[in-house]
Chain A
Amino acid sequence: MSELSVEHLLGIKYLKPSDIDLIFKTADHFKEVINRPIKKVPSLRDITIANLFFENSTRTKLSFELAEKRLSADVINFSASQSSVKKGETLIDTVNNILAMKVDIVVMRHASVGAGVFLSKHVDAKIINAGDGTHEHPTQALLDSYSIREKLGDIKGKKIVIVGDILHSRVALSNIFALQLQGAQVKVCGPTTLIPKYISSLGVTVETNLKKALEWCDVANVLRVQHERMDIKYFPSTREYTQLFGINQKILDNLGKKIVIMHPGPINRGVEITSNVADSNESIILNQVENGVAVRMAVIYLLAQQVKR
């Protein structure tokens, strides 16, 4: 198998286990490439990629842009704050205008759930979802799994707990799909108000006691509280959240075993995770960032293979 079974990367739920294997195998090669003296390959010389970020992003946008440039693609960037979207243009019109400039792949982040799927039905380009509202963020889940695999060897049978604001997190949903596809057990942990009501229908277990959740797991993926998506109060105070769901060295020391700590960023130091835990040896947060470029190179490379020439 050296081809993806999908035409776009809209979400993990559309992928098969063999797609994930292929992406990881390809990412292994690209990880070697980005550690060379010259970190660039010429594969995508004839491909143009548009990064459309209708929502703020620093890490993901930089990571995608770097991945594209290391594959030698031509890159154009767009962010909604400086665009005609403010003047009332529709999404399809905006994208079709960009595609008229002969763009082959669109990487899009959008605040609306399903924006990627919608676009894939109406425009003639490969779509990579870089986050659609509270729905999916597939490349983040792929790089998270890739980093776990790198640290622990295999994902099958491992126990992973996702801690924090599950309700507003696209990272959580994509991670649940990705980890389950690879045979891991997944638990979510957070305040009851921030856990979706029917999440157990996805096959995950729920725990509201942080200590118990950490005792159970091999890996803890810690999420930020997304205040910007909250229109009502979900918990009394940030201080209380930290006391109940913040991960600090003392809790980890009392576990009697070592667990791997992950965070997709941006970190609110001192809220969901303390500084010394984030910077400790158990933390693979910076490995996640490095792997992000390799995994995104793999996804773009594999989709670009399908671009008609």
Chain B
Amino acid sequence: MSKKTLLNSKDIEIILHRLACQLIENHNDFSNTVLIGLQPRGSFVAKRLAKLLEEEYQIKNLQLGLLDITFYRDDFGRRKAPLAAETNKMDFLVEGKKVVIIDDVLYSGRSVRAALTAMQSYGRPDNIELLVLIDRRFSRHLPIQPDYRGRQVDAINEERVLVTWKETHKKDSVYIEYK
């Protein structure tokens, strides 16, 4: 198994800054916007973006939720190894809000589909957008596309795109793994 680095920590920082600016373009002061990171890995992107927006771009009272979608997945009982649920941290309702769903890698689109269903438990948002750090083209199972993308990657199905964060793996990087 070999791997190739797609993005290093500097690249990721630049991309996160760009994504933050794009969000500000569409959401101004975020007074009616909530960011929702998908557990577990989307939460890292969401927390980083929230930190950037608050510290570098002086956005105040940003609402950030961490949504666990395990119970909403469509592959329950069909996986070889069952997935364990993660903590769900949603301290607000999304009724009438603009929601930005945040994940690290967009692949089949099934997690996002599950997130859309999970969101219904928290009310009817005005609209929902999708932000992903990595968008894998040609691999979608569902008609789902991101509104904000960090980097588009062409990878075939046998390859895996993995994101590591300094919070868990000592450094920020995105790499592609060949079997």
* Contacting pair B77 A305 (CB below 8 A): yes
Given contacts A37-B93, A307-B77, A309-B77, whether A42 and B84 have CB atoms under 8 Å apart is no
Q: How far is the CA of A51 from the CA of B84 in the complex (A)?
A: 27
Q: How many residues of A contact B (CB 8 A)?
A: 22
* Contacting pair B77 A3 (CB below 8 A): no
Q: Residue of A at shortest CB range from B95?
A: A37
Q: How far is the CA of A309 from the CA of B72 in the complex (A)?
A: 18
Chain-A contact segment, one of B3-11, B102-110, B114-122, B153-161: B114-122
* Contacting pair A41 B72 (CB below 8 A): yes
Given contacts A29-B88, A37-B123, whether A305 and B93 have CB atoms under 8 Å apart is no
Which interface class (under 10, 10 to 19, 20 to 34, 35 or more) fits B? 20 to 34
Q: Residue of B at shortest CB range from A45?
A: B76
Q: How far is the CA of A44 from the CA of B122 in the complex (A)?
A: 20
Q: How far is the CA of A8 from the CA of B15 in the complex (A)?
A: 50
Task: Say yes or no for A2: interface residue by CB 8 A criterion.
Answer: yes
Task: Say yes or no for A306: interface residue by CB 8 A criterion.
Answer: yes
- Our pick among B76, B90, B121 for the contact of A305 (Cβ within 8 Å) is B76
* Contacting pair A29 B121 (CB below 8 A): no
Residues 144-167 of B contacting A (Cβ, < 8 Å)? none
Given contacts A2-B84, A25-B84, A33-B71, whether A40 and B121 have CB atoms under 8 Å apart is yes
Given contacts A2-B81, A32-B88, whether A42 and B123 have CB atoms under 8 Å apart is no
Task: Say yes or no for A26: interface residue by CB 8 A criterion.
Answer: yes
Residues 12-45 of A contacting B (Cβ, < 8 Å)? 25-26, 29, 32-33, 36-38, 40-44
* Contacting pair A41 B71 (CB below 8 A): yes
Chain A hits for B78, CB < 8 A = 309
Tell me, rounded to whole Å, the shortest Cβ–Cβ distance linking B38 to chain A.
15
Q: How far is the CA of A38 from the CA of B117 in the complex (A)?
A: 12
* Contacting pair A43 B71 (CB below 8 A): yes
Tell me, rounded to whole Å, the shortest Cβ–Cβ distance linking B77 to chain A.
5
* Contacting pair B85 A38 (CB below 8 A): no
Q: How far is the CA of A46 from the CA of B74 in the complex (A)?
A: 10
* Contacting pair A42 B72 (CB below 8 A): yes
> 4 tightest CB-CB pairs across the interface, nearest first?
A41-B71, A2-B84, A38-B121, A29-B85
6 contacts between A and B (CB under 8 A): A2-B82, A25-B85, A37-B121, A40-B121, A44-B76, A305-B77
B interface with A by C-beta (< 8 Å): 68, 70-73, 76-78, 81-85, 87-88, 90, 93, 117, 120-123
